[in-house]
Amino acid sequence: MKTISIFGLGYVGCVSAACFANAGLNVIGVDINDEKVKLLNQGKSPIVEPGLDELLEKMVGAGRLRATTSCEDAVRNSDIAFICVGTPGNEHGQLQLSALRHVSQEIGAALKTDSRRYTVVVRSTVLPGTTLKSVCGPLYKEAGAYARSRIKIAVNPEFMREGTALSDFSNPPYTLVGSEDEGTTNILRSLYESVDAPFINTQIATAETVKYISNAYHALKVCFANEIGDVCARLGVDSQEVMRIFKLDTKLNVSAAYLRPGFAFGGSCLPKDVKALLYAAHHLDVEMPLLDAIIPSNNAQIQQAINNIVATGAKRIGVVGLSFKADTDDLRESPMVIVVEALIGKGLSVRILDANVAIASLTGANRRYIVEEIPHISMLMCDSAEALLEHSEVLVIGSDSEEAGQVLKYAAPAQTVIDLTRGWLKIKLESCEEDRAAA
C-alpha cells in the first residue's frame, strides 16, 4: 500500500488527504499550524465542507490518515509528496509564492541524504513556469547531488468546487497530470485508478495553464449569464427560461464549438447580432461591460495580425483565404478583407488565393459586395497556389482550406509563413494524413 504526504492542510489539502485515504492509500498530512494538525488527528476538519468531518473521522479511525508538523517525518515515511499550500494574490493579482518555495526547500532538505527515488507533485494553483522555477529550483538546490535524477516532479491541478468537493474529487471532468517522465506519470495514474475519469498526461506548463483558463472561463460564464439576466429584465423577458433553452443546445452553445485559438470572427451573423444586442441594451441603460468588450477584442486580433505582417518588412504578401471562414464565399465583415485593405493602404503588394471568392462564381449579395465595396481587391485574386507562391515573400494563412494546405506544402524555406489559424491547419492536415494511412 502506497504512502503519500500532503503538504498544506487547507481546503485542497484536507479534501485530497481524506479522499486519497478513502481510496486505500496511507496519507500523512503536513502543516505548520499546530491547531490544524491536532484537529485532523482527532478526525475533525479544519475547514467547512459537507461530509468531510465524517470522512476524516473514518479515515483516522481506520489508521490510514494522520497529520504532523514535521516535514522530515512525512518525507521519510512516504514516497510521494503533494504540495497543496496556498498561493494567494496580492492587491495587484501577483501570486505570493513564499509558502510554495518554503515547502520545496524543506522537502529538498529532507531528501538530501536520501538516495531513493521520490516524487513531488504540485497540486497548488500556479501560473505556467512556476513549478520549474519556484519548486524545482529550491528543491534541487537543497537536495544536493544527483537531485534531478532521483527526485521527479509533476503537476496535478485539482478541479474541486467548494460545497461539492468530495464528489468532485471522485468524479472530476478528467485527471490532469503534467509530467515529462513516463515513470512519474504511471505513478500518478496508479494513485487515481479508482477515479472514474479520463487520465490526461501533458507537459508541466500546459497543466499549470489549464487550471487558470478553466477558472477564467467559469468566471466569464457567470458574468455572461448575469449580463443576459440584466438585459432580459429590462426587455421583460424571463431570463431563466431564456438560459434554460440556451443550455439545451449542446452542439454550439454548451460545447467545444468555437473554443479553439485562431483568428477573429466575422460573417453576416456574429458581428451584426452582437452589435444589435448591445445597441438595445445601451438604449435601455443596461451596462454590459463583458459583452461591450467583444467587438474591441475581436478588432484587436485583426490589428495584431496586421502589425505582425508589416513587422516582417516584406513588400510582397500572399494571402490564402479572403472569406470570413473556409468553405464559404461570404465576405461580409470578413476580418481578412480588413487585413488586406490595411496592407494595401500601407503600400504593400498583395495577392490573394480563394477559389470560393472567384468573382465569376459569385451571385447575389456577395457579387454586389465585391463590385460595389471592394472592387480593387477583386483585381488581386490569383488562380493557383503556384501564382501566389511566385509572388510572395510572406504567406498569410487566413483559413484552414485545402488551398492553404497546398500553399504550405510547396512554400520555400525563405518564405515567411504567418498562420492566423494558429496551427489548426497543421493539425487538420496531420489528421487527414493519419486517416489516409489507416485506410
CA distances for 61 relative to 38, 39, 250, angstroms: 14, 13, 45
Rounded to an integer, what distance in angstroms lies between the CA atom of residue 101 and that of residue 95? Answer: 12
**Residue at 289 is within a domain:** no
Determine the length of the chain. Answer: 439
Burial of 74 (0-12, 13-18, 19+ CB in 10 A): buried
**Residue at 131 is within a domain:** yes
CA distances for 294 relative to 264, 273, 277, 401, angstroms: 11, 12, 12, 26
Per-residue pLDDT tens digits for 341-396? 999 999 999 999 988 776 545 566 667 777 777 778 778 889 899 999 999 999 99
As a whole-number percent, the residues of the chain with pLDDT over 90 amount to 81
Count Cα neighbours of 55 within 13 Å in the Cβ-side half-sphere.
21
**Residue at 272 is within a domain:** no
**Residue at 273 is within a domain:** no
The single residue of 19, 269, 382, 432 carrying the catalytic annotation is: 269
Question: Residue 130 pLDDT more than 60?
Answer: yes
Contact 420, 413 (CB under 8 A): no
Per-residue pLDDT tens digits for 76-116? 999 999 999 999 999 889 999 999 999 999 999 999 999 89
Scanning 68-177, the segments in alpha helix (DSSP H) are: 71-76, 98-110, 130, 137-143, 147-150, 165-170
Please tell me whether residues 355 and 334 are part of one structural domain. Answer: yes
pLDDT at 433: 54
- Domain with residue 61: its CATH number is 3.40.50.720
**Residue at 277 is within a domain:** no
Please tell me whether residues 22 and 161 are part of one structural domain. Answer: yes
DSSP per residue over 40-75, as a string? HHTT--SS--TTHHHHHHHHHHTTSEEEES-HHHHH
Please tell me whether residues 46 and 163 are part of one structural domain. Answer: yes
**Residue at 162 is within a domain:** yes
Please tell me whether residues 127 and 172 are part of one structural domain. Answer: yes
Please tell me whether residues 306 and 412 are part of one structural domain. Answer: yes
Average pLDDT over the chain, rounded to an integer: 92
Please tell me whether residues 20 and 149 are part of one structural domain. Answer: yes
Please tell me whether residues 22 and 132 are part of one structural domain. Answer: yes
Amino acid at 297: S
Rounded to an integer, what distance in angstroms lies between the CA atom of residue 356 and that of residue 330? Answer: 9
Overall domain count for the chain: 3
pLDDT at 365: 60
Please tell me whether residues 172 and 141 are part of one structural domain. Answer: yes
Q: Which long-range contacts (CB under 8 A, 24 or more apart) does 67-70 make?
A: 67/9, 67/28, 67/29, 67/30, 67/31, 67/36, 67/37, 67/40, 67/41, 68/28, 68/29, 68/30, 68/37, 69/30, 69/31, 69/32, 69/33, 69/34, 69/37, 70/30
pTM: 0.88
**Residue at 278 is within a domain:** no
Contact 131, 122 (CB under 8 A): yes
User: Is position 232 annotated as part of the catalytic site?
Assistant: no
Please tell me whether residues 166 and 154 are part of one structural domain. Answer: yes
Q: What is the mean pLDDT of residues 29-39?
A: 97
Please tell me whether residues 245 and 317 are part of one structural domain. Answer: no
Question: Residue 436 pLDDT more than 50?
Answer: no
Per-residue pLDDT tens digits for 250-291? 999 999 999 999 999 998 899 999 999 999 999 999 999 999
pLDDT at 145: 86
pLDDT at 360: 43
The DSSP letter of residue 154 is E
| 201 or 423, higher pLDDT | 201
Per-residue pLDDT tens digits for 206-259? 999 999 999 999 999 999 999 999 999 999 999 999 999 999 999 999 999 999
Please tell me whether residues 379 and 237 are part of one structural domain. Answer: no
**Residue at 380 is within a domain:** yes
Three-state DSSP state, 354: coil
Q: Which range of residues forms the domain containing residue 317?
A: 297-438
Cell numbers placing 107: 522537502
Rounded to an integer, what distance in angstroms lies between the CA atom of residue 415 and that of residue 307? Answer: 18
Please tell me whether residues 230 and 148 are part of one structural domain. Answer: no
Count Cα neighbours of 133 within 13 Å in the Cβ-side half-sphere.
9
